[in-house]
A and B are shown apart, each in its own frame.
Chain A
């Protein structure tokens, strides 16, 4: 099956620093990638959707200047948490889809293993 990797799996940083998380599709080309955030004991909340070569679409309430998303190639998307603060500590999960979705298409999303971010 399709595999999605994330790096790093865990990161601890000081408040005020920036952290970059990578999401890679290993055996397929991901036209679309998604970034989710998950707080302890809670469900996944979609942060943004990115299509290769275009700007990400952010969900309501997500600060685009704080969570920078780049989807420069069909196999790599990055999420940069800028000027991280303790409240940004969370589990970040990406997913990737081969197609671009839309009516008539039902491409499956494949999820990465997640990145645990702790901001001190």
Chain B
């Protein structure tokens, strides 16, 4: 079955440190992948997406993600974390059906230590 997994439930980093959030996918065909961020009690904001082309994708707020087909991964990175980055991060994949639907990973909660 097609799925998206995020191995880390919770991550804590110090402000200014680098960040990598892991995402793995299980797909039979070309994956369409996304990273979303959700602040407490808020909706989702799209950080970046990968459909095809360059495997290193730049997003908003200084985030980037790299698609690695050999590892079935789409990890999110940021070189220097800010306290305002503390939030819930969801990796998601687009399941191509007659109408498409997005499958979300379980999420990774990010805490930032001042």
**Which residue numbers of A lie inside 8 Å of B, CB to CB?**
4, 6, 32, 34, 41-46, 49, 51, 57, 91, 93, 95, 97, 100-103, 105-114, 116
Contact = CB atoms under 8 A, between A and B. Distances in A.
A106 B96 CA distance: 9
Interchain residue pairs A-B with the least CB separation, the first 8: A101-B100, A113-B43, A111-B44, A114-B43, A43-B104, A44-B104, A111-B43, A106-B51
Q: Interface of chain A, helix or strand or loop or mixed?
A: strand
Interface of B: 32, 36, 41-46, 49, 51, 90, 94, 96-107, 109
Contacts of A114: 41-43
Contacts of A103: 96
A108 B46 contact: yes
B44 A93 contact: yes
Given A93-B44, A108-B46, A113-B43, A42 B99 contact: no
Given A43-B106, A111-B36, A116-B41, A102 B98 contact: yes
Nearest to B49: A108
Contact of B105 (A43, A110, A113): A43
A114 B107 CA distance: 17
Contact of A49 (B36, B44, B101): B101
Contacts, number: 64
A14 B101 CA distance: 33
A4 to B, nearest CB: 8
A97 B94 CA distance: 12
Contacts of B98: 101-102
Contacts of A100: 99
Given A93-B43, A93-B44, A103-B96, A44 B101 contact: no
Contact of A46 (B36, B96, B102, B105): B102
Nearest to B91: A43
Contacts of A97: 100
14 contacts: A42-B107, A43-B90, A43-B104, A44-B104, A51-B99, A93-B43, A101-B98, A101-B99, A106-B32, A108-B49, A109-B102, A111-B46, A112-B43, A114-B42
